[in-house]
Amino acid sequence: LPEWLAALDAETGAEHDGKETPPSPGQTAGETAPTAQPAKQPTARKKKKSRLNTEQQLKAARSALEKGDLATALKFYAKLIRRKRYLDEIVADLEQALLRYPVHVEMWQTLGDAYARQDRLSDALEAYNKAEALLR
């Protein structure tokens, strides 16, 4: 049994009758062929997330807020706050939104984050304290 067939047998668990197999086309007798590899399955490509620029993120946050999707709005606002983008607009949006949702803890926290990024630390502390008071 040729080495390449024995190796293939070991991989696949196949058995042969012991007779030598003739060489493959293009292979001379006694030459070993490369072991067969299972065909690779095509890998599913991950869908690349489209990244919104900061202006689009602000629009998306405002749109979500307008629809009442507060979790999505706050997610976009938080990203912008981390990047220190549109802070004045975000503060105005959140202050206005808190008139409609005065007991929304996460919104108070996000407003506190925006104030902190603007170095308005006493305002940030006040917003964080309101959020904490709502948790009690």
pLDDT on residue 117: 98
pLDDT on residue 48: 58
State the average pLDDT over residues 35-50.
60
pLDDT on residue 51: 82
25 versus 68: the higher-pLDDT residue is 68
Closest CA to 25 of 33, 37, 17, 15: 33
Rounded distance, CA 58 to CA 48, Å? 21
What's the chain's average pLDDT?
83
CA 4 to chain centre: 45
5 versus 119: the higher-pLDDT residue is 119
State the average pLDDT over residues 100-111.
97
Rounded distance, CA 52 to CA 7, Å? 53
The answer, yes or no, to whether residue 10 has pLDDT greater than 90, is: no
90 versus 29: the higher-pLDDT residue is 90
* pTM, full prediction: 0.64
pLDDT on residue 92: 98
